[in-house]
Structure 1
Amino acid sequence: MRTIDEHLREQLLAPEYHTGVRLSPDGQSVAVIRTTARGPEIVLDDRLLAAEHDQTVTDLRWAADGSALYYRRALRGTEKWQLVRLEPGGAAEVVPAAGPVAEFWTAGDRVAFAAGGVLHVSAPGREPDQVSADRYHRWLVDRELRPRGGIRLQPDGGLHLVVDGAVRLALGPDDSTTFAVVGFAADGRTVYLLSAHDAPTRRLLALECATGRQHTVFAHPDLDVEGYPIGGPGVWCDPRTGEPDICQTVGQRPQLHGLGRPTPVFAVGPDEAMLLLDRSTDDSTWLTVRVRSDGPIRYELVAPDTGATRPLLVNRPGLAGRRLPRLDDLHVTAGDGVCLHGYAMRPLDTTGPLPTVVIVHGGPAGRDYFRFHALAQYVAALGFQSLHVNYRGSRGFGTAFRRAGDGEWGGRMQQDLYDAIADGARQGLVDPDRVALLGASYGGYAALLAACTRPDLVRCAVAFSPPCDLAALVGDTPAYWRPLAATLHRHILGDHPADADWLRGRSPRHLLSPDAAPMLIAHGARDPRVPVAQAEDFVAAADRAAAPVTYLRLDGEGHHVTTTQSRRVLFRRIEEFLEVHLVHDHRTAAPAPAIAVHP
């Protein structure tokens, strides 16, 4: 196994240095979240404005008039969000809110925000005013911050969209997960929506508020309109009119589509993609990002009329100029003939079959993207190939493909991963005797299930924050998921009744045996989505069943592992684990400790 040089190791384990990049309304300044070893910092044009160490920071945005920045913060891992107003001079205040802030909007120097299902509007130096007695799961707010309605979840997992007091759209559980509100036109008469209701793909709709009439603004025949992890929902509106003028789909690469205007064209290389992130109020300056799979992503300012470009910054400056492997496109024919798409990364300068780590994305209605994948780079630096499969149920590839995952936790979705391994072996890329699964959340569930049920195929499994017991998840949904419990149950069960025996038959917790492949589980003690008690119950059950398990509890983390310190501990353990179980014969290896606690 290849040894990673320490500089590369540190750069891959560190979080992205620059994230959340935002262009000021006048196009003259750029704000960014800079992540240091101590934690996040808010920086404006290279000037430190605020240090938010031991916090998670998200949703950095400008006030519409450029007078301040707003962002949400929460004690790392807790997801109990506060709203912070930060002036360019550095003065900061927490906007008073009775509960976690779920969403917010700006107009002028004011901000509207939803906390505890209630909508408030605040201006600098004033206590927030409650502007509506209604309660919604998600609010509908126009460009003047007027409450116009919202989304009400239904007991069956569907939703009602209420606009100006009338239900204008009723969606069942099959369609609610693809629904999103883009925003209002400047005159407030039209609201733009994303939905796959009664359509083969997720499309952009315009809904007339007064009548409820709707029409399709844009639809792709095969792909959904969707965003990208560092961007918005995949629709951009003219900042002067609020009318959508650019949409995005994501197949193997993101693609922009002009609506009533020429499709934006950027000069891109063969192994990169260009994304649009932000636009100035007069639309004379665009913030774009150039994405690569073999190096840092690069933020640039572009003048759309002339094409003139000014480089800004990169997300991982410590890796600039370094030769690294790339993601190659992966196409797999599943056992039942369905075509699956994804990516593969091989270590530099390698040929022939390789030990392989299947990195399973979460969601499960997430997906893998063409991007710089630090975890895949780390795996490649260890000498392993990685596969990234958009198994059925993944988003972006149309309604039928997404719905094909309902009820297939542990079923067809799992088999898609196994089929990708078999296809890679047939192509001479995968060493079928040296395969591991690794994933977080749903991906962790899939990894553990493979270890428990297919030790003939999988040598070992690594799981971050995995749900381990579907019967418990359906029968006693954690508080975090209860507002969306019906939707979650639909994903897990499909049309199958909630039969405990059937659920246990697809749950790693109830499939443990001494024959299971070795498992490494890491879990954040602050995780609100999958409580850490579930992981510890799994570890205790594995001990009783004499199943080989190593457990790493990360006391300062939540559902995601975010700090450099925790990542160093975790990935050192992964490196040792894969060395023992994927390179050497795991049957002769000394047993690992059952529990390790990282304070």
Structure 2
Amino acid sequence: MARAFRVYYPALPLVAEHAPHRSVYVGDADGRCQVFAWDRAAGTARQVTDRAAGTTRAAVDPGGTVVWWFDDDLTGIGTWQVSDFDQPEHPRPALPGLGPARPAGLAMAADGTALVGLADADGVALYRRAASGGVEPVARMSGYAHLVDVDPTGQLLVVGRDAASPEAVTVLTTGGDPVAVLPAGPDRRLWPLGFAPVPDPAHLLLVVEESGEYGLASWTRADGLTRHPGRFDTEITAGWYPDGTRVLVRQDRHAGSHLHRVDLATGTRTAVPTPAGSILDAAVWPDGDIAYVWTDSATPPQIRSVAGVELPAGPDDGPADGAVSLAEYCRRTEVWVPGPAGDIHALVAAPADRAGPLPAVFLVHGGPFQHARDAYDPLVEVLVRTGCAVVRVNYRGSSGYGAAWRNDFRAGVGLTQLEDLAAVRAHLCEQGVIAERRVALWGSSWGGYLTLLALGRQPDLWRLGVAVNPVADYVAAFAAATPAIRALDTTLFGGTPDEVPQRYAEASPVSYVDQVSVPVFLAVATDDVRCPPAPVERYAGALLRRRIPVKLLRTRAGHEDFDARGHIALMQAVLLFMQQHFDGVRDEGTSVALAMARPAD
């Protein structure tokens, strides 16, 4: 029997600062992400893009007259296009004369002047586009960098680099002249967030990680960096209120989220009421209303407003037609398990009609600095329907548990995380929740990497592995990576493969491929530049030569696939593979229909 589930791509509308009734957002159009222009006053939402691979990057100018969107190929390389808000069907190049590149930031001043960052293999080039359409080069920066914001007057811009680097934050004039460099280091990380909407002086908001806590800071040309009172024990991000004196702070804490209104001068913190669960994004709109994307483990993401403004009607918030609510058939619990470096938090979902010990699938989150949330995941719903328990572990490196947890890789990259996965597995087996000999791993991206590493390093613990767009060989992946990925890897490993070869070798799944003894499902994307497919294909070949059951699925996509049909095909292929090779999976799980809801008319 087919079951209907839903895949969602919710995102907050981006509001035109001086025309707040106009905004753009990314919504669903026949199973693909596309850009829509929404006029709240007129009550209309018009589709701007209709690209086969979908479109996920968009912006609107402060006056609400021009829509920006990025026209990229599957590798992420492309060009910015602009369309008139009222006539989106006639796009034109935003930066005529410039070739394709990777996007590295887009910011706009109050008069419509746009600052654009474009990245290539050598670094990032910054350009200024006047509201009239003229384009001028501003500066070029080597290595990894990204444009964060421009101040409302169009005089200053800010560029971010690695948060722990001596050049973590750089402020330039929009003519390219250096103004300030704000240094950081391993014991004091620094993230720039954006300029206040109120000019004179230009007031830059930042987050500082220091002494294991997170705080707010600001910078002005006259006063330099100022630390503000108040500290948070877990990761935060923030955005300005329109008055330029208060900020909205979104805090990820454990598997949930909280919103706070903070007065920068006094440090006074006021909770913004939201339901328990996760806030995936939040922003203060020009009229002072707070819009946010909310979800919990049983509820697909919803766009909400504190003031109750009716927002674009995206996906249906309830279950698909004819489906039973997830809360009715799924038993959800949370556990804290003693581990090598402290208690490990894990989310457990299990069929309400089955007692343990159950076959289990560990869904390994990507990252490395993400975390498993109290948030809806269609994979959890599908796997619980098959009769499996689903375990999501917030191993070391996960955000939401403080700086010490997030930065702990003491046993080595990947190896530290495997210690925590094994500890949670052992605890749940001892408690009779999951069956000792029927535990599988499933992960995408960095989660897929950890899956392959665990199958080789801990061959006695896992009975099947599913790795979607994983890293199989860290050295080969580094050689093919973008500057941003190389910067991340260099930070994680403390150097490049030439500088610390042993660390890369110890962390690479290919080093342990001969120890893998269980069935493995591998999926690769032809145009994936984050986790290149060739090393994964070689890894699959090594398994086949040893007669290990392996399935290799190739998809025509980039690292992120924004076409729901791809997700459906992948999920059905994996479930069939599990039914063949993993004891305890119910037959009904192999027939899955995933429905995509449509955006507002």
TM-score interval, normalised by the smaller of the two chains: 0.7 to 0.9
Q: Which of 3, 17, 22 is matched with 2:14 structurally?
A: 22
Q: Is the contact between residue 406 and residue 493 of structure 1 (CA under 8 Å) also seen in structure 2?
A: no
In structure 1, what is the Cα distance between the partners aligned to 2:47 and 2:112? 19
Q: Is the contact between residue 296 and residue 320 of structure 1 (CA under 8 Å) also seen in structure 2?
A: no
Q: Give the SS at the match of 1:512.
A: helix
Q: Offset at 1:347?
A: 2.6
Match status 1:162 vs 2:173: no
Q: Give the SS at the match of 1:394.
A: coil
Q: Which of 403, 407, 410 is matched with 2:407 structurally?
A: 403
Q: Offset at 1:384?
A: 1.3
- Structure 1 residues 126 and 68, CA gap change in structure 2 (3 angstroms): closer
- Structure 1 residues 507 and 131, CA gap change in structure 2 (3 angstroms): closer
Q: Which of 353, 356, 374 is matched with 1:352 structurally?
A: 356
What is the aligned partner in structure 2 of residue 100 from structure 1?
Answer: 102
What is the aligned partner in structure 1 of residue 224 from structure 2?
Answer: 212
- Structure 1 residues 431 and 57, CA gap change in structure 2 (3 angstroms): same
Q: CA RMSD in A?
A: 3.2
Q: For 2:13, give the aligned amino acid.
A: V
Residue segments in structure 1 that go unaligned for 5+ positions in a row? 226-233, 586-599
Q: Is the contact between residue 254 and residue 273 of structure 1 (CA under 8 Å) also seen in structure 2?
A: yes
In structure 1, what is the Cα distance between the partners aligned to 2:449 and 2:60? 38
Q: Offset at 1:498?
A: 5.2
Q: For 1:255, give the aligned amino acid.
A: H
Q: Is the contact between residue 11 and residue 303 of structure 2 (CA under 8 Å) also seen in structure 1?
A: no
1:352-371 matched pairs, under 5 angstroms: 352-371=356-375
Q: Is the contact between residue 189 and residue 210 of structure 1 (CA under 8 Å) also seen in structure 2?
A: no
Q: Give the SS at the match of 1:32.
A: strand
Deviations 1:67-99 (A, max 9, x none): 233233422x31114323232213332312443
What is the aligned partner in structure 2 of residue 231 from structure 1?
Answer: none
Q: Which of 278, 285, 300 is matched with 1:280 structurally?
A: 285
In structure 2, what is the Cα distance between the partners aligned to 1:329 and 1:247? 28
Answer 1 or 2: higher relative contact order, Cα 8 Å, separation at least 6: 2
Q: Give the SS at the match of 2:300.
A: coil
What is the aligned partner in structure 1 of residue 462 from structure 2?
Answer: 458
What is the aligned partner in structure 1 of residue 594 from structure 2?
Answer: none
Q: Give the SS at the match of 1:331.
A: strand
Q: Is the contact between residue 158 and residue 173 of structure 1 (CA under 8 Å) also seen in structure 2?
A: no
In structure 1, what is the Cα distance between the partners aligned to 2:560 and 2:141? 33
Q: Is the contact between residue 9 and residue 33 of structure 2 (CA under 8 Å) also seen in structure 1?
A: no
In structure 1, what is the Cα distance between the partners aligned to 2:363 and 2:250? 26
Q: Is the contact between residue 143 and residue 186 of structure 1 (CA under 8 Å) also seen in structure 2?
A: yes
Q: Offset at 1:542?
A: 2.1
- Structure 1 residues 466 and 157, CA gap change in structure 2 (3 angstroms): farther
1:422-441 matched pairs, under 5 angstroms: 422-441=426-445
Q: Is the contact between residue 258 and residue 274 of structure 2 (CA under 8 Å) also seen in structure 1?
A: no
Q: With structure 2 as the length reference, what TM-score do the two structures score?
A: 0.83
Match status 1:88 vs 2:89: no
What is the aligned partner in structure 2 of residue 128 from structure 1?
Answer: 135
Q: Give the SS at the match of 1:58.
A: coil
What is the aligned partner in structure 2 of residue 595 from structure 1?
Answer: none
What is the aligned partner in structure 1 of residue 595 from structure 2?
Answer: none
Q: Is the contact between residue 410 and residue 506 of structure 1 (CA under 8 Å) also seen in structure 2?
A: yes
Q: Give the SS at the match of 1:431.
A: strand
Q: Is the contact between residue 157 and residue 485 of structure 1 (CA under 8 Å) also seen in structure 2?
A: no
Q: Give the SS at the match of 1:66.
A: coil
Q: Offset at 1:193?
A: 0.9
In structure 2, what is the Cα distance between the partners aligned to 1:217 and 1:34? 39
Match status 1:379 vs 2:383: yes
Match status 1:299 vs 2:303: yes
> Normalized per residue, which structure has more strand?
2
In structure 2, what is the Cα distance between the partners aligned to 1:333 and 1:342? 8
Q: Is the contact between residue 246 and residue 259 of structure 1 (CA under 8 Å) also seen in structure 2?
A: yes
Q: Is the contact between residue 331 and residue 352 of structure 2 (CA under 8 Å) also seen in structure 1?
A: no
Deviations 1:102-130 (A, max 9, x none): 11012333322112422222245523223
In structure 2, what is the Cα distance between the partners aligned to 1:203 and 1:103? 24
Deviations 1:32-63 (A, max 9, x none): 32223363333325533323322342243332
Q: Is the contact between residue 10 and residue 303 of structure 2 (CA under 8 Å) also seen in structure 1?
A: no
What is the aligned partner in structure 1 of residue 146 from structure 2?
Answer: 138
In structure 2, what is the Cα distance between the partners aligned to 1:39 and 1:311? 20
Q: Is the contact between residue 354 and residue 430 of structure 1 (CA under 8 Å) also seen in structure 2?
A: yes
In structure 1, what is the Cα distance between the partners aligned to 2:215 and 2:497? 29
Q: Which of 30, 47, 50 is matched with 2:48 structurally?
A: 50
What is the aligned partner in structure 2 of residue 236 from structure 1?
Answer: 239
1:191-340 matched pairs, under 5 angstroms: 191-196=204-209, 198-220=210-232, 222-225=233-236, 234-239=237-242, 241-251=243-253, 252-260=255-263, 263-266=270-273, 268=275, 272=277, 277-283=282-288, 285-303=289-307, 308=308, 310=310, 312-316=312-316, 319=319, 322-325=324-327, 328=332, 330-336=334-340, 338-340=342-344
- Structure 1 residues 447 and 479, CA gap change in structure 2 (3 angstroms): closer
Q: Give the SS at the match of 2:298.
A: coil
Q: For 2:480, give the aligned amino acid.
A: P
Which stretch shows the higher mean deviation, 78-87 or 441-450? 78-87
What is the aligned partner in structure 2 of residue 572 from structure 1?
Answer: 572
In structure 2, what is the Cα distance between the partners aligned to 1:535 and 1:57? 27
- Structure 1 residues 17 and 295, CA gap change in structure 2 (3 angstroms): same
Q: For 2:467, give the aligned amino acid.
A: A
What is the aligned partner in structure 2 of residue 592 from structure 1?
Answer: none
Q: Is the contact between residue 346 and residue 424 of structure 2 (CA under 8 Å) also seen in structure 1?
A: no
Q: For 2:234, give the aligned amino acid.
A: L
In structure 2, what is the Cα distance between the partners aligned to 1:536 and 1:212? 51
Which stretch shows the higher mean deviation, 95-104 or 457-466? 95-104
Q: Offset at 1:247?
A: 1.1
Number of residue pairs matched by the alignment:
552
Deviations 1:332-388 (A, max 9, x none): 323425112232222343332211111111121221222111221221122211111
Q: Which of 4, 17, 28 is matched with 1:35 structurally?
A: 28
Q: Is the contact between residue 408 and residue 493 of structure 1 (CA under 8 Å) also seen in structure 2?
A: no
Q: Offset at 1:454?
A: 2.4
Q: Offset at 1:170?
A: 1.5
In structure 2, what is the Cα distance between the partners aligned to 1:403 and 1:273? 22
Q: Offset at 1:151?
A: 3.9
- Structure 1 residues 66 and 501, CA gap change in structure 2 (3 angstroms): closer
In structure 2, what is the Cα distance between the partners aligned to 1:490 and 1:171? 13
Q: Give the SS at the match of 2:534.
A: helix
Q: Is the contact between residue 79 and residue 93 of structure 2 (CA under 8 Å) also seen in structure 1?
A: yes
Q: For 2:489, give the aligned amino acid.
A: L
Q: Is the contact between residue 18 and residue 316 of structure 1 (CA under 8 Å) also seen in structure 2?
A: no
Q: Is the contact between residue 334 and residue 345 of structure 2 (CA under 8 Å) also seen in structure 1?
A: yes
Q: Which of 347, 354, 362 is matched with 1:343 structurally?
A: 347
Q: Offset at 1:20?
A: 4.5
In structure 1, what is the Cα distance between the partners aligned to 2:117 and 2:331? 40
In structure 2, what is the Cα distance between the partners aligned to 1:84 and 1:18? 22
Q: Give the SS at the match of 1:583.
A: coil
Q: Is the contact between residue 159 and residue 172 of structure 1 (CA under 8 Å) also seen in structure 2?
A: no
Q: Offset at 1:202?
A: 2.8
